[in-house]
Amino acid sequence: MTFRTPAAIAALTALTLGACGQSDNGGASTTTTPSTEQSTPAATPDPAAEASAVLTPILAPINEENLRARIATLSSDEFAGRAPATEGGMKTREWLANEMKSIGLKPGNGDSYEQKVPLVELTVDPTQSNLTIDGEVVEYGSEAVYWTKRVMEDVSYTDSDLVFVGYGVVAPEYDWNDYADIDVEGKTVVILVNDPGYASDDPEFFKGRSMAYYGRWTYKYEEAARQGAAAALIVHQTAPAAYGWNVVEGSWTGAQLDLERPDGGEGRVAVEGWLQEDVARGLFEKADLDFDDLTESAKERGFKAVAMGDLKSSGTLKNTVRRSESANVAGVIPGTENPDEYVLYMAHWDHLGHNASVTEGDAISNGAVDNATGTAGILTIAESFMNTEEKPKRSLMFVAVTAEESGLLGSAYLAEDPIVPLANIVGGINIDGVLPLPPANDIIVVGYGASELEDLLKKAADKRDIYLRPDAEPEKGYFYRSDHISLAKKGVPMLYADSGIDLVDGGEEAGRAMADDYTVNRYHQPSDEYSPDWNLTGMTQSMTIFSEIGADMAYTDAWPNWYEGNEFRSLRDAQRGQ
């Protein structure tokens, strides 16, 4: 789950981290003023989808006692913090499979409840590695952080010309191509963080201040590889990145866990990394280029990439390679009429294991909120469907994914090697880190205005006089930092919503105080433990709403899509067209 400051966690009560080691963390401040009216999605829903999603049965209630028991079990010391590829992780997988079987779910992957996920850990040795630009060594940690996705002990490139490619974006739907009319094969691309819409502050340009997927660092490295670059270096700037250099240095140094890919990572650039802004400015000055002027021009349509004079870079990385294996755990309720069409519920089961920095006392990071709550939630939702007399027309798939804390790896593997065809997944709901708060008047939609799944959410919320609240700082791109994005960027409509903070009893002041307490005192610490004193009424209400959204897909013929203009709409249209 992704770290946020106390103010931001109050705006997004369930945190989503892409990783201690792989995903970026970020602080934020909450500026959203709650509406007293129901929010309306940014686009008109498909009338056919809306009309079809009305004939659903009354579901069996969410069993709060069983939800509580599952959270308590998953966050107990027995599972030692649920780290992947550890004894505690193995016990967690076994327990999940047995629990799915006891609920009555069928194995989700053929005759198995598990989808094995091969992992590889790469650790750069900074004493034997170096990055040089213009013949000068860029200091590891203080001036640059770099790594490789190529699974090799020795990775290097030499005498690579530097090219400034603006935001490094190729977005046909926005008629934008930062790589147009330039060949960067074998070159080192220097890239700005975030996207042109953020920089322009124009609400009609890209997604305005809301980050598009093209603003994510993950996308920028992937696009650089598609363009044939040897290396890709992102210039760190605190405001558009939403976090300081200390986060970069802390997140991308040390062991980096990744998937064991069929090509061994050969399809990626040799070196990926970040540059301190002051270092980048010095390089532009050496190349007789004005960093500020080029940054301004990079946000304008028609920007052309610029060669950075005679500057060349070289890199040598010495890695330690360690392989391991974890697993996603999946169970299915088969549909009665359309069993090959699936509604997906997803949550990550992993957490951090033992906290090596704790030398005395309790060192187990139990992850009760993060994410025993979400994992217990999808199991209890599955139980609700199993206890409903009328079985769904479509199949329901419940997947507890691994290695979220290491960079959304389990969900990425599910998306790359899907258990069922992605075109057959009607839509999905991701549940990550739900705080044990009392009932609220609102429900938070992360990435608000993305898909017609929000219309189904609004339908369930309206029945309870709950209003939808957009996440407070969409420019930070929180929608792209949890497991649902792995499926979304393949085209599958996904919803990420969380319990609100405008509490029925106590309002926002009480909700923020509870959220602040978790962030300051328990987030990613051994103190994130279950307590019998937890008030689960708000969480139970959220799980009920999530179950109703799934029912509106599982018992009908609805095919919700991304809204027109969303960056994933064309992918879904092509997927369904095939």
Cβ partners under 8 Å of residue 226, min gap 6: 170
Tell me: the pLDDT tens digits for 425-466? Answer: 999 999 998 999 999 999 999 999 999 999 999 999 999 999
In angstroms, the CA 570 to CA 573 distance is 5
Can you say whether residue 542 is alpha, beta or left, with left for phi > 0 and alpha for psi between -120 and 50 degrees? alpha
CB atoms inside a 10 Å sphere around CB 125? 12
Tell me: the pLDDT tens digits for 72-127? Answer: 999 999 999 999 989 999 999 999 999 999 999 999 999 999 999 999 999 999 99
Distance of CA 407 to the CA centre of its chain: 8
Cβ pair 445, 380 in contact under 8 A: no
pLDDT of 29 strictly over 90? no
| pLDDT of res. 525 | 83
User: Which tokens is 494 given?
Assistant: 């996904």
Cβ pair 500, 446 in contact under 8 A: no
In angstroms, the CA 387 to CA 164 distance is 58
Domain borders along the chain are 121-321
| pLDDT of res. 362 | 87
pLDDT of 567 strictly over 50? yes
Give the chain's mean pLDDT: 89
In angstroms, the CA 289 to CA 156 distance is 27
Residue 443 is classified by DSSP as: E
Peptide bond into 371 cis (omega under 30): yes
What pTM does this model have? 0.82
In angstroms, the CA 193 to CA 356 distance is 32
| pLDDT of res. 1 | 61
In angstroms, the CA 188 to CA 481 distance is 26
Per the DSSP assignment, residues forming a β-bridge with 147 are 272
Tell me: the pLDDT tens digits for 385-434? Answer: 999 999 999 999 999 999 998 889 999 999 999 999 999 999 999 999 89
Cβ pair 350, 404 in contact under 8 A: yes
Task: Give the architecture (CATH level 2) of 121-321.
Answer: 3-Layer(bba) Sandwich (3.50)
pLDDT of 533 strictly over 70? yes
| pLDDT of res. 357 | 66
Residue 58 is classified by DSSP as: P
More confident residue, 202 or 128: 128
Nearest-Å Rg of the Cα atoms of the chain is 23
pLDDT of 42 strictly over 60? no
Among the listed residues 65, 74, 47, the one whose alpha carbon sits nearest the alpha carbon of residue 351:
74
| DSSP H helix total and E strand total for the chain | 17, 21
Among the listed residues 226, 227, 234, the one whose alpha carbon sits nearest the alpha carbon of residue 272:
234
Angle CA 532–538–543, to nearest 5: 100
Cβ pair 238, 232 in contact under 8 A: no
Phi then psi dihedrals of residue 553, to 5 deg: -105, -40
Tell me: the pLDDT tens digits for 229-244? Answer: 999 999 999 999 988 9
Q: Band of the pLDDT at 55, cuts 50, 70, 90?
A: low
| pLDDT of res. 242 | 84
Tell me: the pLDDT tens digits for 451-508? Answer: 999 999 999 999 999 999 998 788 888 888 899 999 999 999 999 998 899 999 999 9
CB atoms inside a 10 Å sphere around CB 291? 18
Q: How far is CA 255 from CA 43, 125, 146, 324, in A?
A: 43, 10, 12, 13
Tell me: the pLDDT tens digits for 352-378? Answer: 898 776 778 888 999 999 999 999 999
